[in-house]
Chain A
């Protein structure tokens, strides 16, 4: 188990800066996720950590050891690829045992360790199958077992679940997390699925165009986005633009319509002063139908209702802005209906733009 640290890590492909001066720290045994849109450089970052790509600038440390120029096979990383990359000419057993054979582990021990890891990933009895005789989920587990069996210092996952169907994906991610916790291995996980990221991670780094936009726990990222990219990328919300008109205990922001809303800074580091342009965000669940002391009030007309079983989402508008509002699933709402909705200032977040 090690901690991973990158300092100004940069990788350039031709004119594309795939990873742009990324400095991160991942703690011992932490499950750390890189989350971002397609093409933002997640895979490239991971491959650089694994030693599959050369860092153009910056350093990478495992604990205090500088491994920037260390060849991939000496790094002790276990990596799980998106398409599993199982060797087609080897059985399940040979796929998993390969790394142990390289380490010249005695035969008996190899057999024992492969059996143990197969039990861990719940694949007992499939040793002699060849990869193409396995289902996607099983292949996924073999790939995981192959990475785990060598007791890697670090586990790297590149969208390992994206080829599985939705149900299996949810099952597998709980499994992944259980195993990682059991073994206590530091893990970096890459995904563009935010729900997956939220449900599995200790901390998340949101990435965009090769840069880290924010690092934090799932809760922080959702509740306290540092910038408009994170705010818009994570979760849903109602967004309104305006200008800061006062900064007493709460911020007052004048929207385009002239209306003034009371808000708080989305994140302690957000620096907003009078006259600054600000993005106001309200999460769907922050709206209520009952007014409260100092609440912001909005008149909206509902134009779409989605009933989701355990909740109900309304899409509404007030001519200028679009609203996404979560309401009690028992509430009867009709398209076209007018509503008054309220949002408390502490859940009305102001972000610098």
Chain B
């Protein structure tokens, strides 16, 4: 068998599995992804190594890697121990500023962080964000998975709140908290006198802080699922064999939970690396000196073309996240994901805590939650604030910010644009996502079907700004050019970037319906097409709906492509661009009006995520985990 009959048998197999309907499903998915993801990303790579005079060229890569702005770090040999030093780090971790106020001398410690150049900065930020998120996320997950105390279920849900906003919105809220006369200093220095000096967090440390507070739930979700999926009898066995306490944790619990934690951590690394929203909010500080912001900042040449420098930076960003994706690949494929979702069949072993430990645990969790909800509280207060000086709360509240936003012609047009683009994109995502999920789930025996799984899950790891750059490279000057209309590229970008949410939800729905239900329909005479529409679709409708809702809401809050396209064409800009525009080019209102927009977005996101979860009930456990 096999070898000799190889090719003809393969062709027969393909013919057997693929009818006209399956082919059309496959072709629309491959076609859309080729046109709006593969070719654009390919062009980024090609253009990075291209020069009009010599063809292939390393010029841009070389000039970036030798430019101290991007990569100043140099190893230098020196005469004494340790004989080698690292040069090129600029600035210092913090600065101390003293000044006089009417009430006496005042000290501010400004956390600015070192500047190591754009490329190292991006990596350092991503590394710190990942470490901190993992520490925080894992500790919380461990507490919730292993201990029993009053209110633990509620606290667990509350600690997922950060998932409800994008870094862009969260950063606007948190910024108000951590500046020199921000809420935290008012509270801890002015009112409670817990701090002998004020602390301002800015620049790269602020980016790390925002990202950590928004991303830790991703690690937490993955770790929690992994921890409660650990067969408790394994732990009991270990205890019977004499393991206890830390040894049990180190030898049994941790290794079993590691894959989940690793998956979450690597995803956080990628998300941090590709985050453009936070650096934009902290524009004007060292936060600018990261890859995403630099690409965004110089994507257009003065002539309105796509700069090769930005393209090459995008290529570097793409390569780094690609490498990380290889590590995370195993965990984010549909099949793996469906298995994760099925975890938690055990009754987890939960220990009661002594009163003292309970208090410590509460103190820790409430402390984390205090910081984790700061961004959201910040945005909310800003959105309703009329005036907010250096005080704990705004001095007066108003609905004017919303009125102003909704009566502003451009703002309402942008909201409308976002709604329209996201709706159309959602329709496309449902069609493409259902097609892809159906093929991957139902044609497992078809050679090469894993490639399709890869294709529709990979957007998780592709930086948005790289997608934006690629789309511009590909379509500037064509009928799809954003200078003609912003709609096509934004819809395309939303579709390829946010489709994993739909695909995953639909796929898990398909895995939960027995394939025999399709097959029995065939035997009574229904063609595959007919079976798909009259049997399969009705059974997975809820999953389609829930996935569509998530894809929709994450399209609404998409930042990277939105801002770049919006800059190129204000008329067709989406809501996130308007927030950005108001933040930096707005007239009155300062951050209040962008915060009002952000608040609307956050509320919508809250409603949709809760809605999607209610639709799927228990089955949705891992759904929002990016």
Name A residues whose Cβ lies closer than 8 Å to a Cβ of B. 12, 17, 50-52, 54, 56, 69, 71-79, 81, 83, 85, 87-89, 98-99, 102-103, 143, 146-147, 150, 156
Cα(A75)–Cα(B514), bound, Å: 22
> Would you call B525 and A73 a contact (CB within 8 A)?
yes
A71-B19, A85-B514, A103-B525 given as contacts; is B12 within 8 A of A54 (CB)? yes
> Would you call B12 and A147 a contact (CB within 8 A)?
no
Q: Is B522's CB within 8 Å of the partner chain A?
A: yes
**Please, which residues of chain A bring their CB within 8 A of the CB of B521?**
73, 87, 98
Report which of B9, B13, B17, B527 forms a contact with A73, defined as CB distance below 8 A: B527
Q: Is B38's CB within 8 Å of the partner chain A?
A: no
Cα(A89)–Cα(B521), bound, Å: 13
> Would you call B523 and A73 a contact (CB within 8 A)?
yes
**Closest CB-CB distance, B498 to chain A, in whole Å?**
28
**Please, which residues of chain A bring their CB within 8 A of the CB of B239?**
none
Q: Is B571's CB within 8 Å of the partner chain A?
A: no
> Would you call B16 and A98 a contact (CB within 8 A)?
no
Cα(A103)–Cα(B528), bound, Å: 15
Q: Is B600's CB within 8 Å of the partner chain A?
A: no
Q: Is B368's CB within 8 Å of the partner chain A?
A: no
**Please, which residues of chain B bring their CB within 8 A of the CB of A12?**
1
Contacts A/B (CB < 8 Å), 6 sampled = A69-B12, A73-B528, A81-B516, A89-B539, A99-B524, A150-B525
Cα(A352)–Cα(B19), bound, Å: 49
Give a binary string over B94-132; 1 marks a CB under 8 Å from any A CB, 0 the rest: 000000000000000000000000000000000000000
> Would you call A98 and B1 a contact (CB within 8 A)?
no
Cα(A73)–Cα(B522), bound, Å: 4
Cα(A81)–Cα(B514), bound, Å: 11
**Closest CB-CB distance, B344 to chain A, in whole Å?**
23
- The 9 A-B residue pairs whose C-beta atoms are closest, nearest first, are A99-B524, A72-B522, A85-B516, A54-B16, A79-B523, A85-B520, A73-B522, A89-B538, A102-B525
A73-B525, A102-B525 given as contacts; is B16 within 8 A of A85 (CB)? no
**Closest CB-CB distance, A41 to chain B, in whole Å?**
15
Cα(A11)–Cα(B393), bound, Å: 73
Q: Is B339's CB within 8 Å of the partner chain A?
A: no
Main secondary structure of the interface of B (DSSP, over half): helix
Q: Is B161's CB within 8 Å of the partner chain A?
A: no
Total residue contacts A-B, CB cutoff 8 A: 79
Q: Is B64's CB within 8 Å of the partner chain A?
A: no
Give a binary string over B225-267; 1 marks a CB under 8 Å from any A CB, 0 the rest: 0000000000000000000000000000000000000000000
Q: Is B530's CB within 8 Å of the partner chain A?
A: yes
Cα(A99)–Cα(B521), bound, Å: 8
Residue on B with the closest CB to A143?
A: B520
Report which of A50, A56, A85, A102 forms a contact with B526, defined as CB distance below 8 A: A102
**Please, which residues of chain B bring their CB within 8 A of the CB of A98?**
521, 524, 526, 534
Tell me the chain B residues, 523-545 only, with Cβ under 8 Å from chain A.
523-528, 530-531, 534-535, 538-539
Q: Is B517's CB within 8 Å of the partner chain A?
A: yes
A52-B519, A54-B16 given as contacts; is B514 within 8 A of A78 (CB)? no
Report which of B1, B17, B527, B531 forms a contact with A56, defined as CB distance below 8 A: B1
**Closest CB-CB distance, A81 to chain B, in whole Å?**
5
> Would you call B523 and A72 a contact (CB within 8 A)?
yes
Residue on B with the closest CB to A150?
A: B524
**Please, which residues of chain A bring their CB within 8 A of the CB of B19?**
71
**Please, which residues of chain B bring their CB within 8 A of the CB of A150?**
524-525
Cα(A52)–Cα(B538), bound, Å: 22
> Would you call B539 and A147 a contact (CB within 8 A)?
no
Cα(A50)–Cα(B525), bound, Å: 11
**Closest CB-CB distance, B115 to chain A, in whole Å?**
56
Cα(A74)–Cα(B522), bound, Å: 8
**Please, which residues of chain A bring their CB within 8 A of the CB of B527?**
71, 73
Report which of A56, A74, A87, A99 forms a contact with B517, defined as CB distance below 8 A: A87
Cα(A77)–Cα(B525), bound, Å: 8
**Please, which residues of chain A bring their CB within 8 A of the CB of B538?**
89
A87-B535, A88-B539 given as contacts; is B524 within 8 A of A147 (CB)? yes
Cα(A121)–Cα(B16), bound, Å: 35
> Would you call A102 and B524 a contact (CB within 8 A)?
yes
Report which of A69, A79, A88, A103 forms a contact with B520, defined as CB distance below 8 A: A79
**Please, which residues of chain B bring their CB within 8 A of the CB of A78?**
523-524
**Closest CB-CB distance, A279 to chain B, in whole Å?**
32
Report which of B1, B517, B523, B526 forms a contact with A147, defined as CB distance below 8 A: B523
**Please, which residues of chain B bring their CB within 8 A of the CB of A76?**
525
Cα(A89)–Cα(B525), bound, Å: 19
Cα(A45)–Cα(B521), bound, Å: 19
Cα(A73)–Cα(B524), bound, Å: 6
**Please, which residues of chain B bring their CB within 8 A of the CB of A17?**
1
**Closest CB-CB distance, A180 to chain B, in whole Å?**
17
**Closest CB-CB distance, A94 to chain B, in whole Å?**
10
**Please, which residues of chain A bring their CB within 8 A of the CB of B13?**
54
**Please, which residues of chain B bring their CB within 8 A of the CB of A147?**
523-524
**Closest CB-CB distance, A109 to chain B, in whole Å?**
16
Give a binary string over B170-199; 1 marks a CB under 8 Å from any A CB, 0 the rest: 000000000000000000000000000000
**Closest CB-CB distance, A146 to chain B, in whole Å?**
7
Cα(A79)–Cα(B12), bound, Å: 25
**Closest CB-CB distance, B514 to chain A, in whole Å?**
6
> Would you call B522 and A85 a contact (CB within 8 A)?
no
> Would you call B522 and A51 a contact (CB within 8 A)?
yes
Cα(A250)–Cα(B9), bound, Å: 52
**Please, which residues of chain B bring their CB within 8 A of the CB of A71?**
19, 522, 527-528
> Would you call B525 and A83 a contact (CB within 8 A)?
no
Cα(A146)–Cα(B19), bound, Å: 25
**Please, which residues of chain A bring their CB within 8 A of the CB of B516?**
81, 83, 85
> Would you call A52 and B522 a contact (CB within 8 A)?
yes
